[in-house]
Structure formats: structure tokens, C-alpha cells
Structure 1
Amino acid sequence: MQISHKSFRNIGLIGRPDKYSVVETLCLIHDHLITLGLNPVFDQETAKLVPYSHGQTVSRNLLGEVVDLMIVVGGDGSLLHAARALVRYSTP
């Protein structure tokens, strides 16, 4: 199966909840996804960090049901937490 950016419509965004240093990066990614016509989806914890009051928010455990691709901003721990939540969905 060949994967292209057209295969992804809903893009999940997760950031380390206790690190406000990820906010700027998350906002840049969010805004860029919007300009590409894609739908960014924050997990509930990450949504508390960013200054967006609109947009789609889903619990981390349900992200795999909604998103086609996940972007994680943080360190190894953030990546591992996201992987645990998404492993049953095979979300890239």
C-alpha cells in the first residue's frame, strides 16, 4: 500500500501536558495543517495547552478511531504514551 499525504485527512496532535514549551510548535503545526486543508485533532490534555477554543478534541484513548496520522511533540515519554494509546489501531 502506497501512502501519500492525500491518505491523511484527520491528523492527531499530542503534546506533553506538563510542558508549555511545546505550545508554539503545536500551534505552528496546527496552523500549517489548516492551510493544507487537513483537520487537526487534539487529545483532551493537549487541547488545554493551546489557545484554540474551536476544533476537534478527542480523548487520547479514542484518537486512533478518529485520526489517520499522529504527530507527537515532546520527548520519548510522550511518544511512548501515544504509541500505547494507538497501537491497537495501527495509526502511523
Structure 2
Amino acid sequence: MRLAREFRRPDWRGMLAEISATEFMEWIEFFGEKPFMDSLIDAEFSNLTANIVTLISGKTDLNMDDFSLLSDRREIVERTDDELMLLSAGLIGGTRYGPTSG
């Protein structure tokens, strides 16, 4: 599946059917030595970029998260019970469970 993803093929089963067992084993060995992972590649390049900018500019407060393309900087917002109840009122087809009155 990783190999199909790297070649941007949505049908990993079709791709697997098209290659021979020898080619498959060669790719397994290749992935064992040099993994293709987006997060790994992003971490390597963001670390390299941070080091280059630190070297050129002299700033020491930079880290690789400042240059990462995959980092998600959104903070998780804590919601109150009233906000959650108001949001759940808009869901269609759901069953609301709450304390029974009486």
C-alpha cells in the first residue's frame, strides 16, 4: 500500500497484481532501508531549513516546527457543556442521552 501511495495509485491491489514477486521483494528491501513517509521527509527538510536559517540569520529561537509543512498549529478549544449541547442539537438522526428529570 505504501508503494502504491508513493506512485499515487489508488488501486494498490491492481498495482500488486501487475508486479512480479521479484519486484515486490526488491521494493520490500528498498522500503526497509529508505522509507518513504511524508512525516519523515517533512521532518528532515524542516530540520535542514531551520539549520540553514539559524546559520545565516544567527537567530537561535527557531526550531523545525516553524518550517514544517505538515504541522497542525490549531489549538484544541475546550467547550462548555452548554456549547456541546447546542452543537449536538443540530445533529440529525442522533439520539440524545441526558439526565432524566423527575
The structure with more helix, counted as a fraction of residues? 2
Flag the structure with larger Rg: 2
Q: Which has the higher strand share?
A: 1
Q: TM-score, normalised by structure 1?
A: 0.21
